[in-house]
């Protein structure tokens, strides 16, 4: 569903309004604790390791994981009441686990989690199903200013979904995001969706996302 930002903004804004005071060590006002992920000098060098280290996040005390520039070759599973935020959308890249099988999800959502200001990017070189962001099984994931770029080599039987609902009732709310799922000209028997809702259902809400492209469908099963 494509909606104006005025609708539901009271629910979305608290987890998206991450005013990072980088001169004060990357603290995020309103968040109980902050962890830093960096290639060197941070609390962790892996986004997932930082998320897994958080065991007491809650509505009363949400956490922020601040990610510094680098390419992070890992799949990421988010956690409730944890916001993962890059300091530079172009320089913070989640590229996925190179050894993962199919289907592969680069970022798996969680209820009341947030993701912002980074890039999710991967080129598929085999016959696999790949999702950039997958909605949680229940509840809502909030995403702001994220760029998803999925592409293929000249492969066969690949499927790309820049963002996907999962059919279990969870949802993704996206603000100001850029979604690309593009097949190579030599790819055969393949499909690519900018925003994908499976036939079993699910919800995607897109607010001011001006660039959504899929070689097969920009928007699949989304109501306007």
The per-residue pLDDT string of the chain (224 residues; one tens digit each, 9 = 90 and over) reads 433 333 333 333 344 444 333 333 444 445 568 899 999 999 999 999 999 999 989 888 888 899 999 999 999 999 999 999 898 899 999 999 998 999 999 999 999 999 989 999 999 999 999 999 999 999 999 999 899 999 999 999 999 999 999 877 889 999 889 999 999 999 999 999 999 988 777 889 998 898 999 999 998 876 55
Please give the sequence-ordered ranges of beta strands (E in DSSP) within the chain, or none if there are none.
Answer: 33-37, 63-67, 70-72, 76-77, 82-86, 92-94, 104-108, 113-116, 119-124, 129-134, 140-144, 147-152, 159-164, 171-175, 178-182, 191-196, 203-207, 211-214, 217-220
CB contact at 8 A, 134 and 83? no
Rounded Cα distance, 94 and 85, in Å? 12
Rounded Cα distance, 206 and 121, in Å? 20
Tokens at 42, concatenated: 């941070």
Q: Which residues of 61-86 are buried (b: 16+ CB within 10 A; e: fewer)?
A: ebbbbbbbebebebbbbbbbbbbbbb
Q: In this structure, what DSSP letter does residue 165 have?
A: -
Q: In this structure, what DSSP letter does residue 222 have?
A: -
Rounded Cα distance, 67 and 114, in Å? 13
CB contact at 8 A, 75 and 96? yes
pTM: 0.87
Q: In this structure, what DSSP letter does residue 137 have?
A: S
Tokens at 160, concatenated: 């790309």
Rounded Cα distance, 218 and 199, in Å? 16
């Amino acid at each position: 569903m494509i909606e104006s930002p005025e609708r539901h903004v009271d629910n979305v804004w608290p987890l998206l309004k991450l005013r990072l005071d980088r001169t004060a060590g990357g603290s995020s006002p309103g968040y109980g604790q902050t962890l830093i992920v960096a290639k060197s000098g941070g609390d962790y060098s892996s986004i997932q390791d930082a998320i897994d280290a958080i065991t007491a996040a809650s509505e009363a005390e949400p956490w922020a994981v601040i990610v510094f520039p680098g390419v992070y070759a890992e799949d990421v599973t988010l956690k409730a009441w944890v916001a993962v935020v890059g300091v530079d959308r172009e320089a913070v890249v989640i590229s996925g686990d190179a050894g993962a099988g199919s289907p592969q999800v680069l970022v798996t959502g969680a209820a009341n989690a947030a993701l912002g200001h980074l890039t999710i990017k991967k080129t598929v070189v085999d016959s696999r199903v790949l999702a950039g962001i997958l909605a949680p099984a229940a509840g809502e994931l909030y995403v702001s200013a994220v760029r998803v770029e999925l592409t293929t080599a000249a492969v066969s039987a690949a499927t790309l979904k820049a963002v996907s609902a999962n059919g279990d009732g969870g949802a993704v709310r996206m603000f100001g995001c850029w979604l690309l799922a593009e097949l190579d000209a030599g790819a055969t028997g393949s499909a690519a969706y900018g925003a994908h809702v499976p036939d079993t259902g699910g919800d995607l809400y897109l607010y001011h996302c001006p660039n959504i492209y899929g070689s097969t469908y920009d928007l699949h099963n989304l109501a306007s």
